[in-house]
Structure 1
Amino acid sequence: WTGHPDLDEFDQWCYELDTWAEVNDVPDGFVVKTMMNYLGGKAAKFFMNHVAPERNKWSKQDVYDGLFDYCFPEDFKRVLRAKLERAYQGTTRLRDYVREIEHLAKRFPDVTDFQLVQIFWKGINQYLRVHLIEKGFDPETTPLDRLVKHAARKEKAH
């Protein structure tokens, strides 16, 4: 990964490194030592300037967090959180909308399941919200998977 601030690229790079380490039963310390082989550009510069001199003090997760903070714009997480909080379905299929808000929420450990339900409820198309209300569902008490199941059925029939 070159440090290009693209969340999908970064996530894929982390996933590939995690998978390689897991499949080969490689300890975190060794993963950190070999990470430089899979970095270029701005990411490699961060690694060589900050991690390499004291690599024994860095966990794999610390490096991921450091790379993210160094390579992505300072306000990136704020922008992502705002995108999550303002998310709405629009013309997107319901299941794609749900995947998008779940993907965004995963970036924020403080976002609870309850908050995710509230975001979903606020952002789904009105006819789906009305359908869920008519069926007796309530965003205060109904889990997300149940809301999605019933809303998706209505969307398919619509």
Structure 2
Amino acid sequence: MKQLAPTPYDGSPDIQKFENFVMEASAWVKACNLPKSQQCFVVSRRLTSTAKSFFMHKVAGNHHKWKLTRFFRELFNFCFPLDYRDQQRLKLRRCLQRER
């Protein structure tokens, strides 16, 4: 299943990279039919830099207790600015259609 392995994620606050990683990692775990207790550990093998630091400091000690959905949510919160969602909402409010 090596060819299905997700593209490594470095923890940069780039939503497209993050969403791509989540989608690929979820599909990889499902295709490999991994037990839930090993999913976060296996996915962590594809993390680098800031994202790897998150795993080592927050998850590694009891990775078998973490669910993949919580892992992705906490990884997002660790790597992205606290006001990221507010920034995106503000950008959306500024968008205008005008005559379209």
Shorter-chain TM-score: what band? 0.7 to 0.9
> Relative CO higher for 1 or 2, CA cutoff 8 Å, sep ≥ 6?
2
1:53 alignment partner, one of 53, 58, 61 = 61
Instruction: Please give the alpha-carbon distance, in whole angstroms, between the structure 2 residues aligned to 1:46 and 1:76.
Output: 18
Secondary structure of 2:45's match? helix
Instruction: Please give the alpha-carbon distance, in whole angstroms, between the structure 1 residues aligned to 2:64 and 2:31.
Output: 23
Residue type of the partner of 2:54? Answer: F
Residue type of the partner of 1:45? Answer: S
**What do residues 57-114 of structure 1 show as CA deviations (whole Å, max 9, x unaligned)?**
31111111111111111111110122223333xxxxxxxxxxxxxxxxxxxxxxxxxx
1:79 aligns with 2:87: yes
Which of the two has higher C-alpha Rg? 1
Q: Please report the TM-score for the alignment, with normalisation by the length of structure 2.
A: 0.81
Corresponding residue of 2:43 = 35
Residue type of the partner of 1:84? Answer: L
Q: For residues 84-123 of structure 1, what are the structure 2 equivalents within 5 Å?
A: 84-88=92-96
Instruction: Please give the alpha-carbon distance, in whole angstroms, between the structure 2 residues aligned to 1:87 and 1:26.
Output: 43
State the superposition RMSD in angstroms: 1.5
**Shift in Å, 1:52:** 0.7
- Counting aligned pairs with the same residue, the percent is 28
Q: Please report the TM-score for the alignment, with normalisation by the length of structure 1.
A: 0.53
**Shift in Å, 1:47:** 0.4
Instruction: Please give the alpha-carbon distance, in whole angstroms, between the structure 1 residues aligned to 2:36 and 2:20.
Output: 18
Corresponding residue of 2:78 = 70
Q: How many residues align?
A: 92
Q: For residues 138-149 of structure 1, what are the structure 2 equivalents within 5 Å?
A: none
**What do residues 95-142 of structure 1 show as CA deviations (whole Å, max 9, x unaligned)?**
xxxxxxxxxxxxxxxxxxxxxxxxxxxxx342x4xxxxxxxxxxxxxx
| Residue 86 to residue 38, structure 1, CA distance change in 2 (3 Å) | same
